[in-house]
Amino acid sequence: MIGSPDVVAFTKEDVFGDCVYPDPWVIPEEFSVPLFPQANNANPWAKTSYAKFTKDFILISEFSEQVGPQPLLTIPDDPKVCGTFDLNYFSLRIMSVDYQASFVGHPPGSGYPRLSFVEDSRVVLGDSKEGAFAYVHHLTLYDLEARGFVRPFCMAYVSADERKIMLQFEELSLRFSRASECLKTGNRRAFARELQRKLRDLEYTRSVLQKEEGLQREAGPQGCYSAHVVEKANELAAVEKSIYEHRDLLKQITSYPLRPRRDPHAAHCQRCVTESQTDAHSSHNAHTHPDTSPAVRGEEGERRQSYTPQLIKGKSAKCFDKRLKTLTELCQESFYDATVELLTDTERCFRGDLCYLHTRRLDRALRRKQNITNFLFEEELGEEEEEVAALGRIFCSLTHTKEAETRLHNPSIMLCPVKDMEVCTPCPASSALLSDALAGDERLELSLSDLTMETQDQESSEENKDSFSSDRSGGGDGGEKESDENVCPNADSNAITDRNADPNTDRADKESSSEDGGSSVLEDEGGEEADHTPIFLLEVEPGCGQQGGRTDSGCEPEAGMEAHPDSLVQMDTACCMSQEGFLYDSSPPVKLPGSGLGPTSLPLPLVVNQEPQAMLPFQGAYSLGSPHCQGPVAGLDLPVKSLGDTASRGSDQDSSDCTMSASAGSEQIGLPVGYRGVVTLRQRKKAGQGALKFVRQYPFALQALWSLLSGRTLVVLGSEEGRVRRLVSALALYVPGPGRCGERVQPWLSCPFSLTDLQSWKLIGLQRMASPVGTSMLCSLSRYSRYISVLDADQKTLRCPSYRGSLLANMADHRTHIRRGSTYFLHLQSMLSSLATRAFLLSFTHHLHLPIIPGEKRQEVEERRRGFLKDQLGLADDDCNVLLYLSQLITKHYLDTETTPHLEADNTSVTTHQDPESVSMPDPATGGAVSHQDPESVSMPEPATGGAVTHQDPESVSMPDPATGGAVTHQDPESVSMPDPATGGAVLSEQYLDPAKPLSATRGRNPPSFTYHYTTSQVFKI
C-alpha cells in the first residue's frame, strides 16, 4: 500500500520544481502579454474598477516654493468623488513634469528682473498602477512676493479612462485654455494692482526719505555727511532702483497681450489684443509724458487718494515664514469665479462614459447632414464646443464673450420654458449657467449613464416612474436645478433673462450694483490702479459696451421667446377654469413650421373667426397660465392645486405645466413638450420610460402608435390629470413633427375641442368631466370619431382603426425584454430613424412622383407610389399610410423652408378635384378654388398659398390656400384628402428635389394627389 507521505512527495515535486528551478526557456509573464486582454476583469465595463476614485474630476495643484507640490482644489468639491485616491501623491506626479525651462530673474545684460511669459503646456500622463490618467494643463501666475515672481500651477482633468482623454484631447485643450486665459488675466490684473500699490508705497517712501535726508543734511555741517546721512542716501538710492524695477515690471505686465504668441492652440481673443494695444500705447504715453494730459492726471490724482501709501523698507523680506498668497488672492475674484465656473462646466460636459460622449458627437454630426428630416423625430441641434472651435470662434472668457456666447448657446439655453426665463435675473458671471445650458440636453451620455441607475422597481412603479425629482437628485440635474434656484430668487420680474448673459456683463452688474449700494471697494481699487495701468488690466469693463450689450440682448427677450405685446390678449376669465389676466395668444406672428400640414393647415386666426366653438378650447389651451406669471394670482381657484409651489420651482418640465394648464396636477409630472420652450433630449429620454411602460402594459399599444404615426390624432381621455399627462408625455415620442416646442401636443385640455383643433394637435390629453362641459366634450369626441383615435385612460380602451402591418411591430412589442426606459428610448430612436429614412426615400425618389408618360393621371402616379411601397419595400397597406404621411410632412417641411416667398404671389389657377373617393386639395403650387360639398369632410388646402374658402357646413372647416385662393370640393365624407406631399404638395418636377433649383419653375402643373382614408374604428380593451 502506498502511504500518503509518498504521494505528497510526488505532488509537491512540480511546485518545488517551479519555484526553485524556473524553466529558463519559459518567458516570464512580465515580458509577455496576457492571452486574454481582459483576463483580470472579464467584462468590458470593468476597466476602471481599480481606480480609487468614482468619477472624473478636475484637480488644481500648485508647485509651492515652500511645501512643494500640493493639491488646492477639486471640482466637484466633494470628497466622495476622489475617494481614497491620494491627491498629494498625484499632485507630486503631475507637477513634477518639468514643463518648461523658463528663465526668471535678471537676464544677462539687463539691470532689471524680467518676467517670463511662457506659454501653457499640455501633458497627458498616467499612473497605470493607480489607474489614474490626466490631462494636465500647466500655467504660470505672477506674484510679486514669489521667487522669480512666478507661481507654477496646473489644472488637471483626472479620469480612469486614458482613451477618453486622448480621444477628446482637443476639446479638453480648448476648454482648459479658456480657463487658463481667464485665470491668467485675473492674475495679471491683480499683479498689476499689486505693483501699483507697491509703486505708491515706494514713491511715498522715497518722498519721506528725501525729506529726512534733506533735514539731516541741513542739520549737519556743510560739506560733511554723517554716516547716518550716507545710510539714508543709500536707502534712497535703493528705493529709487526699486521704483525703476517695479515700473519696468509694470510695463512688462501691461505689454503681455502684445507679445507674439507661440501657442497656436491658445484661446486668445483678437479684440482683447487690439484693445490692449491701444491701452498699452496710452499707458506708455502717460509714462513718458506725464504732464501732457492734465485732465487725466487730475482724475488719476483723485483716484489715487483712495489708497493710503505706506512706508516700506527698500528690500522686501523673502523668507520662508511668509505666507504665500492663495489662488484667490492671486487672481481677481470675478476672474477666479469665472475660471471655476468654466472648469465646473468642463467637468459636467465630459462627465459620463466615453461611448456615450463619442456617439453623441457622431450622432450630431450625422444629423446635421439630414436637416430635411430632423424635424420629424429629432430634438433641435445646438452648436457644440468643437464646432465653435472648428469655426474659429473661440470666444473670450474675459470681456468679449457676449456676442459669441449669445449666438452659440441660444438654442440649448432654452431648456426651461418661458416662465423660468422670466423669473430669473441675468445670471452671475455664469459660465456655470452657460454650462448648464450648453451641456443641457447635449449631455446625452451622462444622462444615459445616469439613467442606467434607474431601478427596475422604479420602472414598474407608476408613481416613482414619473417623478422627476429622483432624477434631479442626480449629478447633472441637481446641479442645474441648484443653479436655477440660486439664481431665481434674485429675480427681476420685469426682465426676461438672457441665460446666455455674458459672465463679464454679470460681473459688471455685480460691480455696478455694489456701486449703487454705496460699496466703493471695487471702485476704489479701480481708481487707484488707473494711473499707469491700462484699463483692461485693472478691472472688468463695466462700460457702456457691455452694459449696453446686456440691455440690447441680455434684457430683451430672445427672438423666438419674446412676449410680443400683440400676443397678449385680454380674456374673459369666466371662460376658463383659471387663468391670469392675460393669455398667451396661440397664434405666433410667424407661422409655426409644423402648422398647415395636411389636415391641419388652417391658420389659427381663421379658425377663431369661423368656428366660434373653437374659441373655447383655444382659450382653455392657451390661456391657462401667463408666461409672465410668477405664481398663482390671488382670487383664482385652481381646481387641484396651486401652481405656485410646484410649477415655479424652476424645473423645465414643471414650468411648462404652468404655461399650458389651468390646473397643475397633484403630482409633478413632466411634459413632453415645453410650450414655447424647446423640447429637449432630456425630456424625451424621460418620456422613454413611460413609453416602455405603455408598450408593455397595453396590448393595443401598436394600434395607438400607428394612429400617431399615420397622422391620425390620438385623444387620451381620462379623469385623472396625472395619468393622462403621463400617457401624453410618453406617447408624444411617437408624434411625427411635434414642433420645436411641442406645438402639436396638447397634454391636458379641460374644454371641448373642435375640428379645427385637430389641425394643430396630433395628440391631446382630454379631461373627462361629469358636467355639461364634459358632456359637450364627449359629444365632440363622437362627432369627430372618424378622424381621431380615443385612448380611454380610465377604461383602458382604445378606439381606433386596427393596424395590420409589420413596420411598427418591433417598436411596440409588449413582450420585449428591454428593461429600462433609457434603453427603450434608444431603441425607439433607431426605429424612428429607420422610418424617417424610408420616408425620405419615398419623398425624394423621383420616378414615384412624376408622370412617366404624358397625360398620366394623378391616381396612376399614386398607385405607382403605393406599388413602390408594397413591392419594393414590402410594406402592407397600413404601413404605407405611415410612410406616406411622413413623406407628406417631409415635403411640406421642405417646401416651407425652401420656397415660402414664391408661393405667396401665385393667385391664378383653380383646381377642383372630383374623385368620389377622395377630396382633392388645392395644389399649393398651382393654386385653386376649394368648394365644400360634404358637411363631414375636411379639406386641407395648402396653408402657405392662401385663398378664399366657402363654408357650407358648420362642422367642416376648409382650409383655403392663402396664396392661390380657391375652393375645395369635398365629395367623400369618409375621406380626407391632403395635398400630396411628395409630389403635389408641391414637388412636381425634378427641380423640386434639388434644393438648388427654384420651386417656382414648375408651378403651373396640376399635381397628383392621394386620398387619405380613415377607416372604421375598432375598440380595443384590456
Q: Contacts with another protein in 446-465 (CB under 8 A)?
A: 448, 452
Pairing of strands 763-767, 713-718: parallel
**Residue whose C-alpha cell is 382653455:** 620
Residue pair 619/751 in contact by the 8 Å Cβ criterion: yes
Residues in 167-186 that interact with another protein by CB under 8 A: 167, 169-170, 173
Judged by CB under 8 A, the residue of 366, 779, 905, 1022 near another protein is 366
Binding residues for another protein, how many (CB under 8 A)? 96
Residue 268 lies near another protein (rule: CB under 8 A): no
Query: Which C-beta is closer to another protein: that of 323 or that of 369?
Result: 369
Residue 43 lies near another protein (rule: CB under 8 A): yes
Taking alpha carbons only, the member of 542, 531, 112, 523 closest to residue 283 is 531
Query: Which C-beta is closer to another protein: that of 7 or that of 453?
Result: 453
Binding mask 796-835 for another protein (x = CB under 8 A): --------------x--x--xxxxx-xx--xx-xxx-xx-
Query: Which C-beta is closer to another protein: that of 229 or that of 836?
Result: 836
Residues in 420-449 that interact with another protein by CB under 8 A: 448
CB of 1012 to another protein, least distance (A): 24
Query: Which C-beta is closer to another protein: that of 413 or that of 451?
Result: 451
Binding mask 332-361 for another protein (x = CB under 8 A): ----------------------xxx-xx--
Judged by CB under 8 A, the residue of 11, 40, 88, 100 near another protein is 100
The Cα 646–Cα 631 span in angstroms is 9
Query: Which C-beta is closer to another protein: that of 179 or that of 662?
Result: 179
Query: Which C-beta is closer to another protein: that of 80 or that of 817?
Result: 817
Burial (Cβ within 10 Å: 0-12, 13-18, ≥19) of residue 712:
buried
Judged by CB under 8 A, the residue of 45, 223, 517, 634 near another protein is 45
Taking alpha carbons only, the member of 123, 313, 100, 305 closest to residue 206 is 313
The Cα 600–Cα 885 span in angstroms is 13
Residue 2 lies near another protein (rule: CB under 8 A): no
Question: Which residues make Cβ contacts (< 8 Å) with residue 542, sequence separation at least 6?
Answer: 508, 511, 512
Residue 128 lies near another protein (rule: CB under 8 A): yes
Residues in 576-595 that interact with another protein by CB under 8 A: none
Residue 92 lies near another protein (rule: CB under 8 A): yes
Q: Residue 949's beta-bridge partner residues?
A: 930
CB of 847 to another protein, least distance (A): 8
Query: Which C-beta is closer to another protein: that of 622 or that of 885?
Result: 885
Residue pair 910/916 in contact by the 8 Å Cβ criterion: no
Instruction: Report residue 603: phi and psi, to 5°.
Output: -65, 145
Residue 208 lies near another protein (rule: CB under 8 A): no
Residue 25 lies near another protein (rule: CB under 8 A): yes
Query: Which C-beta is closer to another protein: that of 680 or that of 822?
Result: 822
Residue 87 lies near another protein (rule: CB under 8 A): no
Residue 686 lies near another protein (rule: CB under 8 A): no
Residue pair 674/755 in contact by the 8 Å Cβ criterion: no
Pairing of strands 949-950, 930-931: parallel
Single-letter residue type at 1015: T
Judged by CB under 8 A, the residue of 555, 575, 876, 993 near another protein is 993
Query: Which C-beta is closer to another protein: that of 278 or that of 452?
Result: 452
Residue 30 lies near another protein (rule: CB under 8 A): yes
The H helix count followed by the E strand count for the chain is: 38, 17
Residue 1022 lies near another protein (rule: CB under 8 A): no
Residues in 248-267 that interact with another protein by CB under 8 A: 262-266
Pairing of strands 797-800, 1018-1021: antiparallel
Judged by CB under 8 A, the residue of 4, 32, 288, 771 near another protein is 32
For residue 71, give the 3-state DSSP assignment.
Answer: strand
Residue 21 lies near another protein (rule: CB under 8 A): no
Question: Which residues make Cβ contacts (< 8 Å) with residue 403, sequence separation at least 6?
Answer: 549
Question: Which residues make Cβ contacts (< 8 Å) with residue 652, sequence separation at least 6?
Answer: 415, 416, 417, 420, 674, 677, 680, 683
CB of 896 to another protein, least distance (A): 18
Binding mask 751-780 for another protein (x = CB under 8 A): ------------------------------
CB of 680 to another protein, least distance (A): 18
CB of 886 to another protein, least distance (A): 13
CB of 208 to another protein, least distance (A): 42
**Residue whose C-alpha cell is 411648462:** 656
Alpha carbon 481 to its chain's center = 14
Judged by CB under 8 A, the residue of 70, 121, 467, 573 near another protein is 121
Query: Which C-beta is closer to another protein: that of 280 or that of 890?
Result: 890
Residues in 285-324 that interact with another protein by CB under 8 A: none
CB of 115 to another protein, least distance (A): 15
Burial (Cβ within 10 Å: 0-12, 13-18, ≥19) of residue 545:
middle
Judged by CB under 8 A, the residue of 78, 572, 645, 994 near another protein is 994
Q: Could you check whether the bond before residue 76 is cis, i.e. omega within 30 degrees of 0?
A: yes
CA distances from 968 to 127, 646, 984 (A): 75, 48, 15
Contacting range for another protein; rule: CB under 8 A; set: 120-128, 152-160, 250-258, 958-966 = 120-128
Judged by CB under 8 A, the residue of 119, 523, 562, 898 near another protein is 119
Judged by CB under 8 A, the residue of 7, 67, 166, 230 near another protein is 166
Rg over CA atoms, the chain: 36
CB of 1020 to another protein, least distance (A): 23
**Cell digits of residue 897:** 423652408
Residues in 509-568 that interact with another protein by CB under 8 A: none
Residue 159 lies near another protein (rule: CB under 8 A): no
Q: Give the largest CA-CA distance in the chain.
A: 128
Residue 871 lies near another protein (rule: CB under 8 A): no
Query: Which C-beta is closer to another protein: that of 873 or that of 948?
Result: 873
Residue 995 lies near another protein (rule: CB under 8 A): yes
The Cα 504–Cα 510 span in angstroms is 9
The Cα 430–Cα 872 span in angstroms is 55
Residue pair 929/920 in contact by the 8 Å Cβ criterion: no
Q: What is the DSSP track for 357-392?
A: HHHHHHHHHHHHTTHHHHHHHPPPP---HHHHHHTT
Judged by CB under 8 A, the residue of 63, 71, 75, 122 near another protein is 122
Buried b (16+ CB within 10 A) or exposed e, 214-238: eebbeeeeeeeeeeebeebeebbeb
Residue 699 lies near another protein (rule: CB under 8 A): no
Residue 982 lies near another protein (rule: CB under 8 A): no
Residue 381 lies near another protein (rule: CB under 8 A): no
Query: Which C-beta is closer to another protein: that of 180 or that of 767?
Result: 180
Q: What is the DSSP track for 497-524?
A: --TT--HHHHHHHHHHHHHHTT--HHHH
**Cell digits of residue 2:** 502506498
Taking alpha carbons only, the member of 491, 355, 486 closest to residue 426 is 491
Contacting range for another protein; rule: CB under 8 A; set: 89-97, 423-431, 723-731, 857-865 = 89-97
